[in-house]
Structure 1
Amino acid sequence: MLFNTKTFIKRLRKPGTPFHQIRLRIKKRLGWLGIPVIEPFTGFSNGREVFIVGNVMEDKGLEKPEAGHKPRANMLAMFKRYVSDEIGGVRIKIKFRDLMDVVESNDLGLFHCRLKLEHPLPDGVYFEKASFELLDKVVETQSSIIAEGRVMVVSGNHSYGVISDIDDTVMVSHSTQILKKLRLMLFKNARTRIPFEGVSAFYRALYKGKGEEHFPNPMFYVSSSEWNIYDLLTDFMEYRSIPSGPLLLRERKHNIFKFWKWSRGNHDHKLEKIRFLFSFFPRLDFILIGDSGQQDPDIYWRIINEFPNRVKAVYIRCVGKTGNISSTRRTALAMKEKNVPVLLIDNTEEAVRHAISSGFIDEASIPVISRQLRKDHQTSGLFSPE
């Protein structure tokens, strides 16, 4: 069999393979491997257990995004996200309160731990600190590598939790249109990416819930975006004042030269992560929010069947091809037969009206959401068309 150069390069670039490990060893021996950093992702706790996750990788050297950054700066930032190597096989010490564990990163640089608490945490929705320390030396010039992350505690009784997709649900992404998606990924950053109109105020209303006497409702984000753009998504959500919450993203499978496959293909990982949330929070019911472009309706339908009487409502934003929307309508009818309220929406206002009539959010939030809708409509024209 002839040697295939393209196949070799492809395998060499792909993480999670022996070729990836060889490439890391070569870079380390030649002194090309950058200083490692720990990137903690937001963990979560049900008051009795804690789930913590993070990543070890080369320092990407990314600057905070600015609206005035030129397209080439945004392209360089995206390039750095995908050429920085993940570092597997290293030990990380994790501390949360008086608990401690040592875990090892996998071939993709990812690590996680699940800790059992001796005493239940106080009721409410709030964030606590977790600390991380890299125990192994990766490069000669390495000093102490430490990091601090957050854990969202969800303890006690809550009206509901929210599980939302991100691409084409919160943030305009054009996931079903390759060229438009490429343009956004390459030329935009967290400050210039655009949310759907009114989403930030609507999500804040869902977080607040109905009345001051209740705990806030926890927000979770499950997306087919890859962990490599975690910083972009969290910066975007912070800048747009979208309620903070754990992001559960996709394990990296594609390299910088395969933009067209990002957020496409099989989305079973989203199903697995949503299942985990339902199991980890057995006393919490959920509102599910997604779009018609990435199999969200089918995933939510399976969740409804696997966890009966725990889905309070489903909101699906209609995007993409007519065939997707037709299939979504059929799935929505099946959900309604299970007595789950389903709304297929073209804009945020429709979801707001339903959430108010269902008692999910307070009517007092209407003026704030209306102002946000007007503001988003006005400011969407400040950037080049999506």
Structure 2
Amino acid sequence: MHSSGKYKYDAAKDSRSRRWWARIGINTGTVVKVYHGYGHEGELQVFGHVLSRSPLTEGRTRYHLLGNIWALLRLFMVKPKPLAAVQLLWQGQTIHAKTADDGFFHFQWKPEYPTSAGWHPVTVTHTQNGENIAAGTGEIYIPHRTQFGCISDIDDTFLISHSDKPFRKLKVLFTHNAASRRPFEGAVRHYQLLSHGHTVPPIPNPFFYVSSSEWNLYDYIREFSHAWKLPEGVYLLNQLKRFSQLLKTGRGKHHTKFTRIARILESYPHMPFILLGDDTQQDPYIYEAIARHFPRRIICVYLRHLSAQKKPGVLAVARNLETLGIACCYFRHSEEAIAHSRHMGLIAPLPASW
């Protein structure tokens, strides 16, 4: 009787705790987050996180300051679940994996049968002692065979972020939400034109968004991208951060960006790529290293000019790229980049009557 009463007390206490967390927008149940994966007909990969604490999905967008601040803070109030068993089912084959210390999982496998181009749903299940604890759904992208693909940075490449000014960047994050943030003028149009260059809308050129922003901002960035109608694509972000690391958002570990881009190029050895970035952080130097490591795989590099201090170094990178036979457009305004893409024949020329 005594142990039964204690059990009821603990259950009631746990229920009250869950309700309290829920009132402030936090889910204390186990969640499997599955991000867009990618691959080709011979190899696929998908990744995500298992979290024992995560932000609840909001049904509406907040437009007032305190709401925006709290919505951002919640994205970092996460608790990863390390060494959690996860599995996915593909073509009747069950693939198993375990999460890392930060709750991250990565499946990479060779399917038994070729996979057609397009988006394919996938479900990842977290199991414990043979019991299904939680499941999450995502999609795997198999690009069509097109003339080129695009790999783009996010912050200050198309999303105005002030990455080189940490306090100003945090101010933007705290005072705006995904719906109120803005892209650089003309950036979305440039991306849409590249997406449809030498192809048709049902078979777009693939886009991969590779950023130093952390996985905490995945849903935030996708909401922004959908609102502004950026080309659908795969997002490859940086290591999940905890609440105590919030002030370091988007900073550090830029070297992993090289690895993530290299994996994309290795996955599609017969597809050339366009690289898009900016001069606020390390994009110029990472892209030059990629071009040297993968000769004849890069068609063109686009770098948005925002930092006067870094201009001499970036101009040197541009000269190095051109020595390698790779065009480089170092531009202030997206219309310059669009004109360059037309000149390169990457997108359709203007009509003669324009």
Q: How does 1:1-386 map to 2 (within 5 A)?
A: 34-57=28-51, 58-64=53-59, 66=61, 69-122=63-116, 124=117, 126-136=118-128, 144-155=133-144, 157-212=145-200, 215-252=203-240, 254-320=241-307, 322-363=308-349
Q: Is the 8 A contact 1:205 1:365 kept in 2?
A: no
Cα 1:366/1:98, change in 2 over 3 Å: farther
Instruction: Give the 3-state SS of the residue equivalent to 2:339 in structure 1.
Output: helix
Unpaired runs of at least 5, structure 1: 1-27, 371-386
Aligned mates of 1:366, 1:85 — CA distance in 2? 58
Q: Is the 8 A contact 1:65 1:189 kept in 2?
A: no
Aligned residue in 2 for 1:6: none
Q: Deviations over 1:287-309 (max 9, x none)?
A: 00000011100000000100000
Cα 1:81/1:212, change in 2 over 3 Å: closer
Cα drift, residue 173 of structure 1? 0.4
Letter in 1 for 2:30: P
RMSD across aligned C-alpha pairs, in angstroms? 2.7
Moved more, 352-361 or 261-270: 261-270
Larger strand percent: 2
Cα drift, residue 175 of structure 1? 0.4
Q: Is the 8 A contact 1:285 1:311 kept in 2?
A: yes
Aligned mates of 2:79, 2:270 — CA distance in 1? 39
Aligned mates of 1:298, 1:329 — CA distance in 2? 11
Aligned mates of 1:34, 1:259 — CA distance in 2? 20
Aligned mates of 2:283, 2:75 — CA distance in 1? 26
Cα drift, residue 62 of structure 1? 3.3
TM-score by length of 2: 0.87
Q: Deviations over 1:265-302 (max 9, x none)?
A: 34101011011111111111100000001110000000
Q: Deviations over 1:181-203 (max 9, x none)?
A: 01111121110111111222221
Cα 1:333/1:88, change in 2 over 3 Å: same
Instruction: Give the 3-state SS of the residue equivalent to 2:143 in structure 1.
Output: strand
Cα drift, residue 214 of structure 1? 9.2
Q: Is the 8 A contact 1:209 1:362 kept in 2?
A: yes
Moved more, 347-356 or 305-314: 347-356
Q: Deviations over 1:310-361 (max 9, x none)?
A: 00000000113x2212111111111111010000010111111111121111
Q: Is the 8 A contact 2:125 2:132 kept in 1?
A: no
Aligned mates of 2:76, 2:88 — CA distance in 1? 26
Cα drift, residue 232 of structure 1? 0.3
Q: Is the 8 A contact 2:152 2:209 kept in 1?
A: yes
Q: Is the 8 A contact 1:207 1:216 kept in 2?
A: yes
Cα drift, residue 211 of structure 1? 4.3
Letter in 1 for 2:124: F
Aligned mates of 1:212, 1:132 — CA distance in 2? 32
Instruction: Give the 3-state SS of the residue equivalent to 1:331 in structure 2.
Output: helix
Cα drift, residue 118 of structure 1? 2.1
Aligned mates of 1:332, 1:41 — CA distance in 2? 34
Cα drift, residue 121 of structure 1? 2.4
Q: Is the 8 A contact 2:54 2:77 kept in 1?
A: no
Unpaired runs of at least 5, structure 2: 1-13, 19-26
Cα drift, residue 43 of structure 1? 0.2
Q: How many percent identity over aligned positions?
A: 27
Aligned mates of 2:352, 2:180 — CA distance in 1? 26
Letter in 2 for 1:312: I
Q: Is the 8 A contact 2:151 2:273 kept in 1?
A: yes
User: How many aligned residue pairs are there?
Assistant: 332
Aligned mates of 1:242, 1:117 — CA distance in 2? 30
